[in-house]
Amino acid sequence: MEEVNKQDTPAQKSLDKMKHVEFVQSLDSKVSRQSYEYWISEHLRMNGLYWGLTALATMDKLDALPSSEVIAFVMSCWNENTGGFGAFPQHDAHILSTLSALQILILYDRLESLGDERKNKVKNFILGLQLPNGAFQGDSFGEVDTRFVYTAIQSLALLGELSKEVIDRATDFILKCTNFDGAFGRAPGAESHAAQVFTSLATLAIANNLHLIDQSKLGSWLSERQVLPSGGLNGRPEKLPDVCYSWWVLSSLALIDKIHWINSEYLESFILSCQDLESGGFSDRSGNQPDVFHTCFAITGLSLIQGKKHGLKAIDPVYCLPSEISANIKKWPVDYS
């Protein structure tokens, strides 16, 4: 095995922050607007903006995008009829874009600019999506997924509007998604998947209910996600590694205090090997097309293992926001009494 490592683990490089900042800036520019891809990704704009801003904030470069324009865009995506945010002006509200919108506002410490009335409507939009079994649907069309439970619960946490009733029911649902391997699927009966582990675990963390699961068993499953020769993490057994799992798996390990159950040096090399040193940004695997989603989760993942070394801000594994920002979020149950 030692042989394999020497041959195939790429030499450790440094993080080219300047390039990544430029990459995020280039996503909405005169040049990008000339490409068809820019226009057909409007349905992801709010999420994309959150990913880009979180990457920037982690690199301590939040000011690389114009804050007033960003906030104006977020506000223009609010949907008065439903009370939620869409991904783009005139697009329908969805729980995914609603969380991204709230996260962006809190990144700028501008949550208050929503105003009480709008805030209340956002809250009611989210509460209206919870189903009798405790799960949340993404919008009124009924898709159910542990992803939506997390996005809903985090949104309520950001608004400071958690309640015992909502939390207990969400916890019940999450626990029903546990599998024999100790990990979680998107719904009861569904196969374990690292991204669903993150959303399930982070929900339990917000609900102060992490003690309800078998952390040792789950940690073992999570640590098996690291594979050779790349040292990267995969999302399920017998699948290829992908840099976005640096976030899903690492944040999960962080939540149960087991980051040391994988090899950080190998992972660091893998993450750095996914950088695109020409255009900036990260791709799922070395040599692929970079995008803002993988850029965000490569950088936040890197911050969890080697933040100081690469000059990155500490990131909160529960909220995927810089820790200095998440510190101000009302925590359940201590801040609610």
Residue 80 binding another protein, by CB under 8 A = no
Near another protein by CB under 8 A: residue from 78, 153, 200, 242: 242
Q: CA-CA distance, 103 to 320, in Å (whole number)?
A: 9
Residue 223 binding another protein, by CB under 8 A = yes
Q: CA-CA distance, 325 to 104, in Å (whole number)?
A: 11
Specify the pairing of strand 321-322 against strand 315-316: antiparallel
Near another protein by CB under 8 A: residue from 14, 29, 35, 133: 35
Residue 268 binding another protein, by CB under 8 A = no
Q: CA-CA distance, 244 to 55, in Å (whole number)?
A: 13
Residue 208 binding another protein, by CB under 8 A = no
Residue 139 binding another protein, by CB under 8 A = yes
Q: Which stretch binds another protein (CB under 8 A): 166-174, 186-194, 313-321, 325-333?
A: 186-194
Residue 260 CB, nearest approach to another protein (Å)? 4
Contact mark string toward Zn ion, 281..310, x via CB under 5 A:
---x--------------------------
CB of 167 or CB of 235, closer to another protein: 235
Q: CA-CA distance, 333 to 320, in Å (whole number)?
A: 20
The closest of 252, 256, 258 to 235, measured between CA atoms, is 252
The closest of 141, 140, 135, 178 to 153, measured between CA atoms, is 135
Task: Name the burial class of residue 236, with classes exposed (0-12), middle (13-18) and buried (19+) by CB atoms within 10 angstroms of its CB.
Answer: middle
CB of 44 or CB of 166, closer to another protein: 44
The closest of 273, 216, 278, 220 to 246, measured between CA atoms, is 273
Residues 278-297 that bind another protein (CB under 8 A): 283-285, 287-291, 293-294
Near another protein by CB under 8 A: residue from 132, 180, 334, 337: 180
Decide: 308 and 50 in contact? Cβ < 8 Å: no
Near Zn ion by CB under 5 A: residue from 145, 242, 291, 316: 242
Residue 152 CB, nearest approach to another protein (Å)? 17
Residue 226 binding another protein, by CB under 8 A = yes
**What is the sign, positive or negative, of the torsion defined by CA atoms of 144, 173, 323, 109?**
positive
Residue 269 CB, nearest approach to another protein (Å)? 12
Residue 32 binding another protein, by CB under 8 A = no
Q: CA-CA distance, 51 to 207, in Å (whole number)?
A: 24
The closest of 167, 124, 170 to 147, measured between CA atoms, is 170
Number of residues near Zn ion (by CB under 5 A):
3
Q: Which of Zn ion, another protein, none is residue 310 near (CB under 5 to 8 Å by kind)?
A: none
Decide: 292 and 284 in contact? Cβ < 8 Å: no
Q: What is the DSSP letter of 321?
A: E
The closest of 223, 309, 234 to 12, measured between CA atoms, is 309
Q: Which residues bind Zn ion (CB under 5 A)?
A: 242, 244, 284
Q: Which residues bind another protein (CB under 8 A)?
A: 1, 34-36, 39-44, 86-87, 90-92, 94, 139, 141-143, 179-181, 186-187, 189-193, 214, 216-217, 219-220, 223-224, 226, 228, 231, 236-239, 242, 258, 260-263, 266, 276, 283-285, 287-291, 293-294
